[in-house]
Structure 1
Amino acid sequence: MNPREAAGPLAATFLDLPFGSPGGSVELFLDLYTGEKPFIPARAFMLAPAGPRPRTPDGLGLLSVGGKCLEGPAFSRYVTHLRRALTTALKPSEIGVLHLHHLGFGATPALMRALPAHPRIALVHGTDLIFAEAHRDQLQVLRVTARAADAIVVPTGAMADHLLKLAPQTDRRKITHIPWGIPDRLIAHPPTRNAHTSKSHLRLLYAGRLTAEKGVEALIRSVATLQGAELSIAAPNAQFSALAPRLIRAGVRARYLGWLRRPRLWKAFAEHDVLVMPSTTLEAMGLVALEAQACGLPVLYQPVPGLSESLARSGMATNFTHPSTLTQDLGRLRTEPDLLPALRQAGFTNAARYPLSKTARGLSDLGRQLI
């Protein structure tokens, strides 16, 4: 599909994260709105990182606003500064619709205040819900956004259920299910797999942020008791450096791959046997798992909301909080000769259901309906 076929009204959208921040939400944002031929035409913004101004993809603007925080009077001042920067950067007559990525944080209230008369599509991500549970001001922002949005997009039914627990007054009729997607080119042309699989050990890969909700502590405890498995970690450097002492204390030898950008990450998927996803709370969709599946890498995952829906039987559910269960499941992957090939095929079939072009088409169609 030609990206322009999905083009809808010009969107204004903003992630108040520094450009270069890790995470599936960031990759989805850049996939949708930036590049020479973006799927969705937009005025898209992120925060300018500290230091020299980086080279950015076509279509991405950077706002030099400091003071990012989550609550209290400082949060109100931060939103005001973001709103002023957006008011300077945007021409209201050019914008057709607002895409509010994250129902919380500072970008969403700032964008709504900068362009108060435009239709609003709010897109729920997992971090919105996690931070709303932990911070009173973020819960308030989430509830205000849910009321003010003309449409609320969730990638999985689990995200809708969780949102309604936090904001029970939300009008359910505004909620639309549009799954997140992975690059069409990855589905069409995945990297060639390294066919080597040892019967004596499995090459495990963890890829993503090393934050508490990602289940890193459970992974360390489980891997410390494993026999016949080698662990590689692809994560932000600073986060891995902070984790390294705990790995040493637990006696876990992990190979650090660095923080890999595409397509290097896709190549790493093709060089391992299993992706491990020990998330403890929820995942909006688990894009890294879908990209791994597109590369022929089976996924071993904790069945938390979001992942259970997007992966289901195409992956292998386990319990990272019980090392004996994980050991048993990894043993099956080593000793049952048909299991890994079956998971590879099921995973690729599952990943093919979620092309990014389909996500873009759904969002663009929704935007047209609101104008």
Structure 2
Amino acid sequence: MTTPMPRPLVATCLDLPADSPGGSVELFHDFYTGPDPLIPARAFMLRPSGPAPVLPAGLGLLTVTGKTLQGPTFHRYVAALSRALAHALAAEPVEVLHLQHLAFGATPALLRALPDRPRIALIHGTDLLFAEQHRDQLQVLRESARLADAVVAPTPAMADHLLRLAPHTDPRKIHHIPWGVPDRLLRHPPAPFGAAPAERLRLLYAGRLTPEKGGVVLAQALAALPGIELSIAAPAAEFGAFRPVLQQAGVDARYLGWLPRPQLWQAFTEHDALAVPSTTLEAMGLVALEAQACGLPVLYQPVPGLVEALGASALAVDFTDPAAVARTLGRLRTARTLLTELRDAGRANAARHPLSTTATALAELGRRLG
């Protein structure tokens, strides 16, 4: 039997408070934390301003304040974060850096703290969006892409977008490694809950409610549509800010809370379809892949990232066109065989993306760079 190659020790940092919601945070934990992480790492996030949350094994907290996006305060924040990382990693046998995002503060801070290690940068999508909106973040992104020994893009669309923002990036250093679904979910998905009555369609939205996620267009598309029961799983503060949008559209939504991962997976089995109405781009749309793994059909706006990750395994629909949404949801209510077909296609698509395969590819890339 072949003995697995040891995986190089990684240093990585996500400069978000440890209690932050979002797909990038979940992926970070999937890779680097827990009692038996897929990637051996010294992984750090920021200490929250409130009470410290229950932390997964292997996650360190950095007490660095003043996070911002541009101007002199941004550069002071990066310098403070770099000093904290250098101190925390001084005695660690780190072999490779994983730079989460090409923008924001953790990437330049890690580059300063450990300047002589191989560097793998991982595109998450928000780094590209913020680089478009903030001059300093665009500068960080371009410099990070230049200094990285390898850049990992989960979809070709993310690589193309990066090259538009940083056209001098050497395309030979860009590697396409898709993100993945936890293997335990693929092996043991939750049991189906049961179908809704024929006259109803249980639609779920799950994720952040930031503008680029398309909550507003979803509410507008569902206005005055009969027979649709909308549930929303999102951070509480974001749902509170979003409630007036629902009220203005006349949409009565059931709020589920910001669900822990196992509870979200169970919620997938209690609905008939997941709506992913993102308006700009997605790195890969992990929530959609996890829904597919649980047997939940997906309706998605065909934006970069989602098109490559989902393709024909899900139903593309223009959420900015209420008439198109009405026709699509009407089809799903009256032709239940379509839901069955989408359920089968989705499970097959999710099975193509086990997270262990992603981790193995990242580890092999790190060994090659070392």
Given the two structures, how large is their TM-score scaled by the length of structure 1? Answer: 0.98
Once the two structures are TM-superposed, the CA of residue 249 in structure 1 deviates from its matched residue by 2.0
Whole-Å Cα distance in 1 between the matches of residues 336 and 205 of structure 2? Answer: 23
User: Does 1:235 find its partner at 2:234?
Assistant: yes
* RMSD of aligned alpha carbons: 1.1
SS in 2 for 1:152: strand
Cα distance in 1 for partners of 2:336, 2:146 equals 52
Task: Name the amino acid aligned to 2:175.
Answer: T
Q: Which runs of 5+ in 1 are unaligned?
A: none
- Residue pair 2:212, 2:280 contacting (<8 A) in 1 also: yes
Provide the rounded CA distance (Å) in 2 between the counterparts of 1:289 and 1:356: 14
d(CA) in 1 for partners of 2:184 and 2:309? 20
Superposed counterparts of 1:347-362, under 5 Å: 347-362=346-361
Q: Which residue of 2 aligns with 1:344?
A: 343
1:175 aligns with 2:174: yes
Q: Aligned partners of 1:267 and 1:206: how far apart in 2? A: 14
1:195 is matched by which residue type in structure 2? G
Q: Do structure 1's residue 78 and structure 2's residue 77 form an aligned pair?
A: yes
Deviation string 1:18-45 (CA, Å, 9 cap, x unpaired) is 0121111110000000011100000000
Matching residue of 1:205: 204
Q: 1:303 is matched with which residue? A: 302
Q: 3-state SS of the aligned residue for 1:360?
A: helix
CA distance in 1, matches of 2:153, 2:110: 20
The code of the aligned residue for 1:343 comes to L
The 5-angstrom pairing of residues 302-341 of structure 1 reads 302-341=301-340
User: Paired residue for 2:247?
Assistant: 248
SS at match of 2:25: helix
State the 1:91 CA deviation: 2.4
Partner of 2:157: 158
What secondary structure is seen at the aligned counterpart in 2 of 1:311? helix
1:261-289 CA-partner distances (Å, limit 9, x unpaired): 11000000010000000000000000000
Specify the code of the residue in structure 2 equivalent to 1:44.
A
* Identity in percent: 66
Could you tell me which amino acid in structure 1 is paired with residue 19 of structure 2? G
SS at match of 1:52: coil
Partners of 1:98 and 1:126 in 2: how far apart?
A: 19
Residues in 1 aligned to 2:5 and 2:260: alpha-carbon distance in whole angstroms: 26
Residue matched to 1:42? 41
2:365 is matched with 366
1:223 is displaced (CA, Å) by 1.1
Residues 1:208 and 1:93: Cα distance change in structure 2 (over 3 Å): closer
Q: 1:93 to 1:208 in 2, by over 3 A?
A: closer
Pair 65,220 (structure 1): closer, same or farther in 2 beyond 3 Å:
same
Looking at structure 2, the residues matched to 33 and 139 of structure 1 have their Cα atoms a distance apart, in angstroms, of: 27
Amino acid of the residue matched to residue 53 of structure 1?
A: A
Task: State the AA in 1 paired with 2:114.
Answer: L
Instruction: Tell me, yes or no, if structure 1 residue 55 matches structure 2 residue 68.
Output: no
Comparing 154-163 with 192-201, greater Cα deviation is found at: 192-201
For the residue of structure 2 that corresponds to 1:176, the secondary structure is strand
Q: Say if 1:180 and 1:7 are closer, same or farther in 2 by CA, change over 3 A.
A: farther
Q: Contact 1:186/1:294 (CA < 8 Å) preserved in 2?
A: yes
Contact residue 224 and residue 250 of structure 2 kept, 8 A:
no
Distance 1:31 1:99 in 2: 14
AA at the equivalent of 1:322:
D
Letter in 2 for 1:362: A
**Structure 1: how far apart are the matches of 2:336 and 2:274?**
18
Q: Cα offset for 1:337?
A: 2.9
How many angstroms does 1:336 deviate by? 1.4
- Residue matched to 2:288: 289
* Structure 1 counterpart of 2:100, one-letter code: H
1:23-172 equivalences in 2 (<5 Å): 23-91=22-90, 94-172=93-171
TM-score by length of 2: 0.98
- 8 Å Cα contact 1:7/1:40 also seen in 2: no
Alignment partner of 1:112: what SS? helix
Once residues 107 and 148 of structure 2 are traced to their aligned partners in structure 1, the CA distance between those partners, rounded to angstroms, is: 10
C-alpha distance in structure 1 between counterparts of 2:278 and 2:219, whole Å: 13
Structure 1's consecutive aligned runs of 4 or more residues displaced over 6 angstroms after TM superposition are none
Q: Which amino acid aligns with 1:62?
A: L
SS at match of 1:20: coil
For residues 230 and 54 of structure 1, the distance between their equivalents in structure 2, rounded to whole angstroms, comes to 33
Counterpart Cα distance in 2 of 1:6 and 1:130: 37
- 1:62-86 deviations in whole A, cap 9, x for unaligned? 1011101000000000000100100
Secondary structure in structure 2 of the residue aligned to 1:241: helix
